[in-house]
Structure 1
């Protein structure tokens, strides 16, 4: 067993135009003041990371990470959620997802996809330069508009979508392998990899690639009504990252999983700050410790009620209180009889 590292904080939801959220130096200092030991860094925001420089120079990465260490935090992982989303985009989402891309490739799906692939590759290389072993991402989605089978899906449609998704990601996995970095997909509605079955469909098509891992976030399973504890038992070998994000699901006679197109505050399923929702984090931290998870517990703040700065400060304390410092001995060692193999044979009557 291993003691989970943490607490860490995903910075994506905190970046902004005002200090301390507008520069690498100030936001890392702020995170440390909140009680965090590490930060997970989005690679799409030039205010905190120059991805081109990070991919080109290990020395630049060492200086950049050193600035964070001087402020009291380490870099836990890099994230390519938005770029990964653009690796596979159904045309229905072209206009909306264009905002995730560099201005030069907007309005050109082919150029946008090529740009996204190059971004993911650069982030993998940068991860290697930083000495990191995991990178977070989204899978993108080609089949998501057809998630509910009405009208009936044409035969082979989903299979074709997953074949293509695997074709696009396989070279990225190979680059990840060369870098010694796992790609951890956040299993998330809106992505083709949104539950265990879809992850397995994808995994089969990439030949069970050892670099294909999951980012485990129980909040998305609460909103899908998926058993998030059983999920850990099933996929223990593929869990590469962990987001500490809470959620609640309170269906009514008016709404359920699909939410009735309501704003987050009025949905049956809502994201909450850690400790304010229904997720059994005590059980999750116990399972992760027992299954030898060696990653970070990273708070991802998303809440329809609480102020983000309050959620961040409370989240650091919440994770600290849930991390289990694993034991190095059994609780009943005091009663050990100190017997050896010969004595055991005697106890079992094997020498008679």
Structure 2
């Protein structure tokens, strides 16, 4: 069995305008001191990474890898969560998501989408130049406003939405295939791919594309009340990335899954720092190891209570404790009787 790599940390929630969070070298040095061995890089964060250069320049990619190696860090994956979101945006969300695009493209959905598609293509080339195996993104959403079937959804509405979503993503998946990189959609509410059923809908429409896979984050399944351990049993062949993020769900007589439009701190379901929520990480790491997952375990910090720097400091040892050194022998080898084929036949009464 393979062993999960880690600990890694997703830099999106930590990047900022103040040192050490405003530069890739200094933030990598900060992460290494906390015990992290890898960083997942948000490609929209230009203070940390130049996606345009990485897509075209092997020299730039080698310089980035070399600089990180000097700090004892490697790149786990690149991320285009924000750009992926813009591949498919329902008009109801146009203004809300405009902030994910350059100012010159705002209030121009078609140009914004074309820019997003090109960003994904660049990420495929950059990932290949960096020697990465997987890439993280969001699917975007056309059907999400119609999640709850009231009023009754017109026949064919969801099917049409997924047909269109697949047509937009198929050429991007082909670009990742040409680059030799798996494209991993984070299964996430707010995206059209938010659970196993929706992933299956999409996978069928892209012809079971060999690069169409998942980023597994159990926190989103806790908030949906989905069986996140059973999910690994069903979909382990498609889990190629792993965000280690905690969550809790505490329903009350006043609210449940939908949370009453309340801020995160007052919702029944909320994200927490590692160890402060309800996720069974021992079960998750065991199942992923059992099924041969050999990718990274990457902290994604989101918590409405704890400071991010405390969450990061606690996250590395938490992940390290859960990494499983796989065995190369059976636990009962001491009782091996040393039989052979003839003895086996005699034991079965076949002689």
The interval holding the TM-score normalised by the smaller chain is over 0.9
After TM superposition, give the deviation of residue 201 of structure 1 in Å.
Answer: 0.4
After TM superposition, give the deviation of residue 100 of structure 1 in Å.
Answer: 0.4
1:121 matches 2:118:
no
Mapping of residues 152-301 of structure 1, within 5 Å: 152-301=152-301
Post-superposition CA distance 1:169-225 (Å, at most 9, x none): 000111110000001000000000000000000000001111000100000000000
Aligned counterpart, 1:325:
325
**Structure-1 separation of matches of 2:151 and 2:23:** 48
**Structure-2 separation of matches of 1:63 and 1:325:** 32
Aligned counterpart, 1:4:
4
**Structure-1 separation of matches of 2:343 and 2:96:** 72
Which SS does the other structure have where 1:235 is aligned? helix
1:101 matches 2:101:
yes
**Structure-2 separation of matches of 1:263 and 1:172:** 35
**Structure-2 separation of matches of 1:3 and 1:45:** 30
After TM superposition, give the deviation of residue 282 of structure 1 in Å.
Answer: 0.3
**Structure-2 separation of matches of 1:171 and 1:229:** 32
Mapping of residues 306-325 of structure 1, within 5 Å: 306-325=306-325
After TM superposition, give the deviation of residue 62 of structure 1 in Å.
Answer: 0.9
After TM superposition, give the deviation of residue 342 of structure 1 in Å.
Answer: 1.4
TM-score (normalised: structure 1): 0.99
**Structure-2 separation of matches of 1:136 and 1:338:** 48
Post-superposition CA distance 1:292-337 (Å, at most 9, x none): 0010000000001111001001000000000111101111111111
After TM superposition, give the deviation of residue 232 of structure 1 in Å.
Answer: 0.4
TM-score (normalised: structure 2): 0.99
Aligned counterpart, 1:139:
139
Which SS does the other structure have where 2:45 is aligned? coil
After TM superposition, give the deviation of residue 104 of structure 1 in Å.
Answer: 1.9
Q: Which runs of at least 4 in structure 1 moved beyond 2 Å after TM superposition?
A: none
Could you say what the CA RMSD is over the residues aligned between the two structures, in angstroms? Answer: 0.6
Unaligned 5+ segments in structure 2 are none
**Structure-1 separation of matches of 2:317 and 2:7:** 8
After TM superposition, give the deviation of residue 350 of structure 1 in Å.
Answer: 1.2
Post-superposition CA distance 1:216-247 (Å, at most 9, x none): 00000000000000100000110010000000
**Structure-2 separation of matches of 1:98 and 1:104:** 10
Which SS does the other structure have where 1:276 is aligned? coil
Which SS does the other structure have where 2:53 is aligned? helix
After TM superposition, give the deviation of residue 347 of structure 1 in Å.
Answer: 1.2
State the number of aligned residues: 351
**Structure-2 separation of matches of 1:61 and 1:267:** 42
Aligned counterpart, 2:65:
65
Post-superposition CA distance 1:109-144 (Å, at most 9, x none): 000000000001101110000000100000000000
After TM superposition, give the deviation of residue 343 of structure 1 in Å.
Answer: 1.4
After TM superposition, give the deviation of residue 42 of structure 1 in Å.
Answer: 0.5
Which SS does the other structure have where 1:25 is aligned? helix
